[in-house]
Amino acid sequence: MLAQRILTAALLVPLVVGGVLFLPTFWVGLFFAAVILLGAWEWARLSKISTPLWKSVFLLLMAMMLGMAATMSSNFNLNYGVLAVATTGWLLGAALLFCIKKIEKISLEPNPLRVAVGFLVLLPCWIALVFLHGSGEEGPVLVIFVLVLIWASDSCAYFAGRRWGRVKLAPVISPGKTREGAYGALVGAVICGVILAYLKPDLGGLLVTIPLCILTCLVSIEGDLFESLIKRQADVKDSGNLLPGHGGILDRIDSVTAAAPVFVFGLMLLGADA
């Protein structure tokens, strides 16, 4: 399993990094849209939409929403509003997530509320990444940075959890995650905060970049836990099987869906000029 994970990552990471750095925003947006639509197909499964027809309808609606967002991808005020709402939702959701004491399995019938949440989870992520990529010369580098921040935090959490993990972080939702792993993720976030201060000195230095990276890291953990909750309610282990060793697309982008809107909204608040 570990070998499969490493091989899949070794193949995908260079493609993603190279595409983000060297392709125009239009093509990067199309690539991210394809990822979001694959995630939406898996979300339909988690929402108990089992028939191909209704899955296709959900996918079509998601594609239409992405198309509408694309026509307004350079509108700062509109994107600011969308990302402000998304950030508020993730911050409020964190408190609710840790209040869960028991997980109820959802019925076999399609869940309309779950379907609606899919739009709120997936669309702001696409908007954040595409807006950031097209925001200036440093945009592509900042997109890579937020992805590296999430990957580094996740890796630090994994190794710290394996080495020192004792206390469960959210045992009802994800028994494998530990507080020690979360502390490891925060160490990774601090290191990334130092790097961001070097990349973007105009943000205000370490006293700004480190808290921004820590907050982004914490929300990325929330995104991971939220998808774990959704899978447990749907009674499935993985969101899909598209990526060998990793599960489905949602299993790989769960942290990004939460972290990207928060990070980009933080840059907007700081008046960053990418």
β-pair partners for 247: 243
Cα–chain-centroid distance for residue 100?
21
User: Comparing C-alpha atoms, which of 136, 124, 25, 139 is closest to residue 69?
Assistant: 124
By three-state DSSP, how is residue 239 classified? coil
- Structure confidence by residue, pLDDT tens digits, 189-212: 999 999 999 989 989 899 999 999
Neighbours of 107 (CB within 10 A): 8
pLDDT, averaged across the chain: 89
- Structure confidence by residue, pLDDT tens digits, 143-177: 999 999 999 999 999 999 999 999 999 888 888 89
- Backbone dihedral angles phi then psi of residue 175, each to the nearest 5 degrees: -60, -20
Concatenate the DSSP letters of all residues of 79-138 into one string: HHHHHHHHHHHHHHHHHHHTT---PPPP-SS--HHHHHHHHHHHHHHHHHHHHHHTSSTT
Give the residue, 103 or 42, on which the prediction is more confident: 42
Is pLDDT above 70 for 240?
Answer: no
When computed from its CA atoms, the radius of gyration of the chain, rounded to whole angstroms, is 18
Tokens encoding 105:
């399995």
* CA–CA separation, 5 and 172 (whole Å): 26
Is pLDDT above 70 for 106?
Answer: no
Give the residue, 196 or 112, on which the prediction is more confident: 196
What pLDDT shows up at residue 11?
76
pTM comes to: 0.92
DSSP state of 249: H
CB 110 within 8 A of CB 47: yes
Is pLDDT above 80 for 71?
Answer: yes
* CA–CA separation, 17 and 106 (whole Å): 38
Is pLDDT above 60 for 2?
Answer: no
What pLDDT shows up at residue 189?
97
Domain map (residue ranges) of the chain: 2-269
- Backbone dihedral angles phi then psi of residue 166, each to the nearest 5 degrees: -135, -50
DSSP state of 201: G
